[in-house]
Structure 1
């Protein structure tokens, strides 16, 4: 069962990808909020890009890329990383040997450490960093993190803006048990200018953005602790092998649990109410939190819940005395739990959630179900929501699916081409490995390659790929170093970053120790290569967006047109930077670079609703130069 294959090793070769044929059609979904505080989605300022959990960025991903470096390999990192507008990277490690730290900052280009914020205690995890613009200092941003006992605001140099105690204390340590004191990353409630978050146990917090002042009494969601089903998923002999392997690499939890056992219990909800991030509509201010239902909703009064729920809340001043409170406005329950974060359409009119049975569920803002689609497999992560063409992307342990929200129902359009490890000697099964990230030129995904074992894929290899949004075909692929529980992070220069959290590959390593490298933690960067192709994809995406926007009625769709113009500007900035690097790398001549620059400059002058039609010819000419 664990023998090495005698097949020849002949990996599939990926040529430089041709242009994508995907284009936006019609008016995009668009909000009406400004970006004075909320960053434009050029990169990941939150763990799912933005406050709405869209997993959609405005930039193009590099059409060709390769693994560049792995930094801070001693850390098991389960979320992030996130980025500021100066090109700095931030993450909060989960488990590791040695000195305790709350948050680490790296240079995103080199992976060199910039600074680390010490942890308050050896027992406490910090939330993934969350970033907002600082409107009092235009062009600057502030980083926010939280733990069970403290919330902190930091500047990019690591200096503290404010630090506020929550008033809570860590419970007594119980050996062999997992405390529900993990606090999820912050989100932003624009109506009250506050930072909000929720703990794994369902406690709700609100802090003033500017001062860190606690603005509301700590709230509580009504769900009951979830029932974990991990025992039915992992055979005991596998658990024993992997627990040993993970303890050697990352140590154990403060309660003496293996990292592997701890994370499985967390992922599958054992004892917790909220296992993933939450979303906030920047226009309405509503919070959407996926959690467990109240005890008894599953038909049994036992103090536990076997059903999922989603809650819509707001932070309001009910009594008019200036004191805010969390108020539940609506709730909906469904069979099976969920590990997904609710994701919102860009206009906040749709809420998407996935359950662990196999359904993608669409709800309106008041949590009335509109439709559900069964993809035939349990869904493992949040739904990625594109603002264009009503496109959604959902992932399982096997596949990546594109769905279309027709308004009345959801339709599966394709399952992605996950063939990155074709030709590998010891790979007989390939599958999806991470939440999908939607970009202007494709869908960034992770592919696992390994051995089929008891119906699962024992991961031996992992890599990153770029799918075509129109067809689902694999445009490009590069092997990476390690497994992740986080997200496929894309930044403004087209780079891809992955937080290393080796659970699945730890199983592969335990079962096939000679066929896969040692497990590792840290952050990996995949650097763009062939920057001329990145410039091409960014320019062509900008042209397609502008050409579509001029067909829209300005009286009806001004929000969509204005947002298209903002994104076009972001794409042209990305293209300009890529052109300069492509010339330096020798992939673009100085003469062609100058001509492209002139065309983009002339087109940029007309990026207003009134003169947008005049921009399209220059952008089209630039796009055609890079055929």
Structure 2
């Protein structure tokens, strides 16, 4: 453990001449979206003392079931608070504990400051608290955060091909276990192994109290959560997938991207193999070519299932040529007999071309959601049988976001974000997010388009530069909004929607009722990670430029000429690390949203509790209610501190929240709803 401070600087601004194109509002409306029925419920999660509830992201996709959802509101007036550790390429984001944010990165170059496998950041300042040295070959996946059963607080789990470890938020090592793979070379001396056999992250298996590690070659390990004892090892039967990660772009563009990426993410004097291609490595991480497993996975706490999207053996496609063209959703089980633990494959669902999606599980395990390469959102039952399929018109990025409080699933693609209404045995498309409301358009964009077109032509790429708004990230579901990253840019490869080049980006909130924009704020950098949420509703993102690497790379090709300098003035330079977006004003509106949604939770329980079969304290509504009222109290304090509400209003609303809590504990939910609605109206 290294507790030394970071040599990198903290950046608190968003550079680039185009950030003024992002539409921002000072006052945001209260969404009318509301929960109607009782939530889908996981009895195991509700009863667990290990799995955090009602908090921010504890795994890469929020929680162990991967539904990219939080029981919190997102404040409507987010602004960039800081960007730190700019040399770290973070394709999987960070998780939130009580004291810090936790992440890893792709290029732990030996002999440099970034030679580490995990980092802890202070939540307020972004300062480095500690790192785990040295880096590991095959390190990857966002660290997992679980409750600490020995002391109050959290334990963080991460690792690589050499070992898996658990540390407390104070930086105390609980355990570190060798994987037994026998791979101990420096990470950046063997890029092929480092990327294609990389760890896709740690997850938690509730039935056996084990932490699970899944690797790119299909290897699966289980460790005892408390001691780190290696309990079982397995390999998903599959062969490396077809490598279709290459981009159809002119060689000068690719060379420029390589130069731009190296300048930002490879420290000066770093010793790398002569044939190392950093940009190609990043594409491989993003698109998962030549791997058996190319994404994260889900565990179902209410069964012993572990859901993994992986390939099938080469022979399954009828052409034995060393690569797999078929993939599958695999349902693994981990069972215990006495002191012995073992994995098995319970069932599998094949896909032609495989799946680029992380499986997501509905609480309770009745539905497992994923997607195929043809743009179909798919729902399966626990027997691996298809329940429904809905085509969204484009390949789905990452994972489907699933809300347990209604029947909605959200699909993010390179062309937009789509609401899917799950009717049980069938589903249909709802709204598509209106991204035209994110950026200003019109005649002001013509000079920008002309400049970009001329620069690309000079670099050897002739494509029509028609500036448009597009989605560039997996979305996250909050109580009041869907959060996404939008980009204003153009298609570098018109045949592939994901090869979209953003010139300016925004963190955008979408109304879950209508698909319309609530508000946006300029984003510092592109990300191929996820949109992480902290306990207070702040948005915390791991920066990982890919598409922008190609665009900024054009400035490397053009150099200091007039055209190159003009393009460089438009585009902010690449950055890595972590950026935090938090409210700096209108805390009163954030408090309003939290209180109003807490009132809606109590109302949903009051209406549906007779059919529940469990108590209020055992309900998902209670977990969400507690998170929302806690968030409201925090935002009220900030609103009073900056003069947005009076001391009398603060005292009155705080009293109503306390009164509602007492009413809920005594079972008078009608009274709890009434006083919370009054608090909501006072703040509206």
Counterpart for residue 104 of structure 2 = 92
Match of 1:618 among 675, 679, 683: 675
* Residue 139 (structure 2) aligns with: 125
1:312 paired to 2:331 = yes
Matched residue, 1:3: none
- CA change 1:328–1:103 in 2 (3 A) is same
Q: How far 1:232 moved relative to its partner?
A: 5.5
Question: How many residues matched?
Answer: 616
Relative distance call for 1:449 and 1:557 in structure 2 (3 A) is: farther
For 2:282, the equivalent position in structure 1 comes to 263
Q: Is the partner of 1:367 in helix, strand or coil? A: coil
Map Cα deviations across residues 191-245 of structure 1 (whole Å, 9 max, x no partner).
11110111000001000011000011x2100011100212364444422221121
In structure 2, what is the Cα distance between the partners aligned to 1:92 and 1:172? 18
CA distance, structure 1, for counterparts of residue 329 and residue 229 of structure 2:
28
Give 3-state SS (helix, strand or coil) of 1:622's partner. helix
What is the SS of the residue equivalent to 1:261?
A: helix
TM-score (norm 1): 0.94
In structure 2, the residue matched to 1:189 is 205
Assess, with a 3 A threshold, how the Cα gap between structure 1 residues 178 and 605 changes in structure 2: closer, same or farther: same
| 1:402 aligned residue (419, 427, 434) | 419
Q: What is the CA distance between 1:254 and its match in structure 2?
A: 5.4
Change (3 A) 1:609 1:229: farther
In structure 2, what is the Cα distance between the partners aligned to 1:253 and 1:336?
A: 37
Root-mean-square deviation over aligned CA pairs? 2.2
- Displacement of 1:559: 6.7
The Cα shift of 1:490 comes to: 1.3
CA shift, 1:48, in A, is 0.7
**Are the aligned partners of 2:258 and 2:553 in contact in 1 as well (CA < 8 Å)?**
no
In the other structure, the counterpart of 1:591 is: 648
Distance 1:145 1:453 in 2: 36
In structure 1, which of residues 423, 448, 452 is the aligned counterpart of residue 487 of structure 2? 448
In the alignment, is residue 437 of structure 1 matched against residue 476 of structure 2? yes
Determine whether 1:505 maps to 2:548: yes
CA contact (8 A) 1:152 1:161 kept: yes
Give the corresponding residue for 1:163: 176
Secondary structure, counterpart of 2:317 in structure 1: coil
TM-score (norm 2): 0.86
SS in 2 for 1:186: strand
Q: Structure 1's 7 and 64: CA in aligned 2 closer, same or farther, altered over 3 A? A: closer
1:386-417 CA-to-partner distances (Å, cap 9, x unmatched) read 00221111111110111111112221111112
State the secondary structure of the residue aligned to 1:451.
strand
Alignment partner, residue 148 of structure 1 = 161
1:524-569: per-residue Cα shift (whole Å, max 9, x none)?
Answer: 0111131111101111111111111111143445378722022111
The correspondence for 1:290, drawn from 299, 309, 316, is 309
Cα distance 1:576–1:321, how it changes in 2: closer, same or farther (>3 A)?
closer
Question: Match for 2:402 among 378, 385, 397?
Answer: 385
55 and 176 in structure 1: CA distance in 2 versus 1, 3 angstrom threshold: closer
Q: In the alignment, is the contact (CA less than 8 A) between 2:156 and 2:166 conserved in 1?
A: yes
Deviation at 1:355, TM superposition (A): 1.8
Give the structure 1 partner of residue 599 of structure 2: 543
Report the 3-state secondary structure (helix = DSSP H, G, I; strand = E; otherwise coil) of the residue aligned with 1:297. Answer: helix
The Cα of 1:171 is off from its aligned counterpart by: 7.6
**Which consecutive unaligned segments of at least 5 residues does structure 1 have?**
1-5
Change over 3 Å in CA distance of 1:7–1:586 after alignment to 2: closer
Deviations 1:168-209 (A, max 9, x none): 122879867455331121111111111011100000100001
Which residue of structure 1 aligns with residue 256 of structure 2?
241
3-state DSSP of counterpart to 1:510: helix
Is 1:566–2:623 an aligned residue pair? yes
1:151-174 Cα shifts (integer Å, max 9, x gaps): 111011111111111111228798
Structure 2 counterpart of 1:492: 535
Q: Which ranges of structure 2 fall in alignment gaps of 5 or more residues? A: 1-16, 450-466, 556-566
Match 1:525 to one of 569, 580, 583:
580
List aligned pairs for 1:317-466, cutoff 5 A.
317=336, 320-418=337-435, 419-423=437-441, 425=445, 426=448, 428-455=467-494, 456-466=499-509
